[in-house]
Structure 1
Amino acid sequence: MAGLYPLKFKPILHEKIWGGNRLKELLNKDIDNLPNCGESWEISSVEGKISEVNNGYLQGNNLQELIEVYMGDLVGEKIYKKYGIEFPLLIKFIDAQADLSIQVHPNDELSKKRHNAYGKTEMWYVVNAEDGSLINSGFNQPVTREKYLEYLENGKLTDLLCYEKTATGDVFFIPAGRVHAIGKGILLAEIQQTSDVTYRIYDYDRKDENGNKRELHTDLALDAIDFTYQDEYKTKYKAEKNKSSEIVSCDYFTTNILDFSEKLEKDYHHFDSFVVYMTLEGQFNIEYEGGNEKVNKGETVLLPASLESVRLKPETESAKVLEIYIK
């Protein structure tokens, strides 16, 4: 069996009522003729939307087929033992040209009970934000179930929500149960559990091209919401040049920011996990035993667990990537 190598996948593009064209303009995505491309699913194991390899001799094979064949060599032994052929993360870029609906996602326990699926804990890294762009994460005051319902029924839910001005480089960690929404003018990277379960709470009374309002999930959402109030929702982190700087770490994933202007040796032998690179800026080469893979801005690469040692060489003045794995 031929050796594994850094894998690229064909992006799965989604038209959205709130989407735009910045996935093409800022991340070089080929969005075809989609007038409102809102999401590019970079790596997905969601049923019916499974990523297909787009480079090398494995081109045309889908992600689940690869995990069936390569098992722990691809994803890591402990990850394969836990998740089987289902890749545990869904990796996306999202372009919001209008406000997204206010949403919440169920946790593992509730999602298993209702949908026989995993919950959805996620994080956002803001790739680009227009001046004045806002992100909602959580509540702006202590809220009871009764108070939430009162404001929701009176059309005043947004009065309870914490909205923060956001800028490029901002990070938000969104555990399952936290009410949240991406505001207009924001392009971001999203790392989440493999789940497509979303409860839509409020959608600004928008109508589609047929004059229909989108479905809301008021009752389902009520049992999923964590009403805990926090003083601060934005994630604070410190990034060091030419080093992997941790920005989020939880049971489901760890994400680092890596901004490098010199050749780096990366040793992953102790990880027992795949590594994902989401390229935010610049170009670089991944040099590995047996080959070399060029990576451009906007591209996402899956580094198999069996590639325990690689070299990252910037081809532009610097390159910036999100480095994602499971501890």
Structure 2
Amino acid sequence: MLKPYPLQFQPEFKERVWGGRGLEQLGLTPPQGHIGEGWMIADHANGTTSVLNGALAGLGLDEIRTQYGQEWLGTKGVSEQGGRFPLLIKLLDCNDDLSVQVHPTDDYAGLPQGELGKTEMWYVMDAKPGAKIIYGLQEGVTRESLREALENGTVMDTLQQVPVEAGDTFFIPAGTVHALCAGVIVAEIQQNSDTTYRLYDYNRPGLDGKPRELHIEDSLNVTSYEGAGATTMKTSGTKPGEWLELARCPYFVVEKGVIAGDWSLNTTEDSFTVLVICEGSGSISWDDALEPIAYQAGQCFLLPANLGQYTLNGSATVLRSYLP
């Protein structure tokens, strides 16, 4: 019987008009071009990651889900309807502003066949001085006033702009109008969805030189004008050896931890654990390990639900994600 071990995947890189080369500073090796997204752990029609290490090297996450199911991914990690892996883990390099966008909930009638809604969270890994994001609407903006602003070119006046620095975290429930802006590198934990409705894109051309498609009616339909419960926090006070909860919703829990030495932890049978290494380096050891696996900033690991006891060693900042 194959014993569980921490899985590392080959990222799927995505070229985006707003992307750059910033993922290289995390030790990743994206292809040439404006690379905006590294899909680090993905099981989606638009990108599936394959295992890099150990006995399962070369297998896609979809194949692992099919072959090892609840034993490896947890009782909550595999749906009875044969659904995909529930989360999508990305690193984003925002060399330019992203489009102003909004995501639907699971029950939106306009969703593509088989697609989920998209609730997500961001952890800012790096931010240039003066960097900001767009995070929600100004007080009192309605569907009618938002449509009017789009028509007369004043949409930016309806949006809240928030300065950001490394360590900031943002929870973005479906229905929250948002956009990352130039100068940030972000870890994103989200529902396994690739559905984005663009509200505004600065009238710029896409990579093909043509204007990118906007989705005005869908955007107006799914926007939560009274607010969807978006929350933000500073995390610089995180103490070594303690988990700080950054986000909790029906789709995921995300916590931040600071490793200083050895930290002994456990997986549970109901969910896999995802680790995103934000800074620093060290190693992961576990009961059946012949030797530890080294980790460094920019790497992500999927710990199977049946891994059991494991130890994080080193000096690092990590995000831990699992199903609630």
TM-score above 0.5, yes or no: yes
Is the deviation greater in 72-81 or in 148-157?
A: 72-81
Partner of 1:255 in structure 2? Answer: 254
TM-aligned CA distance change 1:2 to 1:57, over 3 Å: same
Task: Find out whether 1:322 has 2:319 as its counterpart.
Answer: yes
AA matched with 1:11:
P
| Distance of aligned partners of 1:294 and 1:112 in 2 relative to their CA distance in 1, 3 Å threshold | farther
Whole-Å separation in 2 of the counterparts to 1:265 and 1:302: 17
Further displaced range: 78-87 or 39-48:
78-87
Secondary structure of residue in 2 paired with 1:162: strand
Give 1:13's aligned amino acid. F
Quick check: 1:277–1:301 contact (8 Å CA) kept in 2?
Answer: yes
* SS at 2:179 equivalent: strand
In the other structure, the counterpart of 2:278 is 280
Normalising to structure 2: TM-score of the pair? Answer: 0.94
Of all paired residues, the percent bearing the same amino acid is 38
Gap change, CA 1:111 and 1:59, over 3 Å in 2: farther
Q: Residue 242 of structure 2 corresponds to which residue in structure 1?
A: 243
Residues 1:15 and 2:12 aligned together: no
In the TM superposition, what is the alpha-carbon distance from 1:111 to its structure 2 partner? 5.8
**Which segment is superposed worse, 89-98 or 221-230?**
221-230
Return the alpha-carbon distance in structure 2 between the equivalents of residues 113 and 85 of structure 1: 16
| AA partner of residue 16 (structure 2) | K
> 1:45 Cα deviation (Å)?
0.9
Change (3 A) 1:115 1:143: farther
Distance 1:40 1:231, change over 3 A: closer
Write the deviation string for residues 238-270 of structure 1: whole angstroms up to 9, x where unpaired: 52222122111111001111111120110233x
CA distance in 2, matches of 1:285, 1:231: 36
Superposition pairs for residues 300-311 of structure 1, below 5 Å?
Answer: 300-311=300-311
Change (3 A) 1:50 1:229: closer
1:236–1:247 contact (8 Å) kept in structure 2: no
Compute the displacement of 1:297 (Å): 1.5
Q: Could you tell me how far apart the structure 2 residues matched to 1:93 and 1:256 are? A: 17
* Equivalent residue, structure 1, for 2:163: 165
> CA offset at residue 80 of structure 1?
1.8
Cα separation, 2, equivalents of 1:154 and 1:128: 35
Equivalent residue for 1:181, pick from 179, 182, 187: 179
SS in 2 for 1:207: coil
Range with bigger deviation, 231-240 or 192-201: 231-240
Task: Give the residue type in structure 2 aligned to 1:214.
Answer: R
Q: Is the 8 A contact 1:111 1:118 kept in 2?
A: no
Given the alignment, which residue of 191, 198, 205 partners 1:193?
191
The corresponding residue for 2:129 is: 131
- Secondary structure class of the residue paired with 1:239: coil
Aligned-pair CA distance for 1:22:
1.0
What is the identity, as a one-letter code, of the residue corresponding to 1:323? R
**Counterpart position of 1:79:** 77
Answer yes or no: is the 8 Å Cα contact 1:40–1:93 preserved in 2: yes
DSSP-derived class of the 2:54 partner: coil
What do you get for the CA RMSD once the two structures are aligned?
A: 1.8
TM-score between both structures, scaled by the size of structure 1: 0.94
Q: Please tell me whether the aligned partners of residues 127 and 280 of structure 1 are also in contact (alpha carbons under 8 angstroms).
A: yes
Q: Describe the SS at the equivalent of 1:61.
A: coil
Deviation for aligned residue 1:234:
2.3
Q: 1:44 aligns with which of 28, 42, 45?
A: 42
- Displacement of 1:198: 0.6
Counterpart in the other structure of 2:59: 61
1:167 Cα deviation from its structure 2 partner: 0.2
Moved more, 84-93 or 174-183: 84-93
Residue 308 of structure 1, CA deviation? 1.7
Structure 2 vs 1, CA of residues 229 and 52 (structure 1 numbering), >3 Å: closer, same or farther?
closer
In structure 1, runs of 5+ residues without a counterpart are none
159-168 or 232-241, which moves further after superposition? 232-241
Distance 2:127 2:320 in 1: 21
- What SS is found at the alignment partner of 1:17? strand
- How far did residue 227 of structure 1 move? 0.6
- Describe the SS at the equivalent of 1:195: coil
Q: Deviations over 1:39-96 (max 9, x none)?
A: 1000011114111001111100011111111111211013324563510000000000
Contact 1:73 1:306 in 2 (8 A): yes
SS of 1:219 mapped into structure 2: helix
Q: What is the one-letter code of the residue matched to 2:213?
A: E
Matched, 1:293 2:290: no
Q: Amino acid of the residue matched to residue 179 of structure 2? A: A
Matched, 1:106 2:104: yes
Letter in 2 for 1:264: W
Aligned length: 321
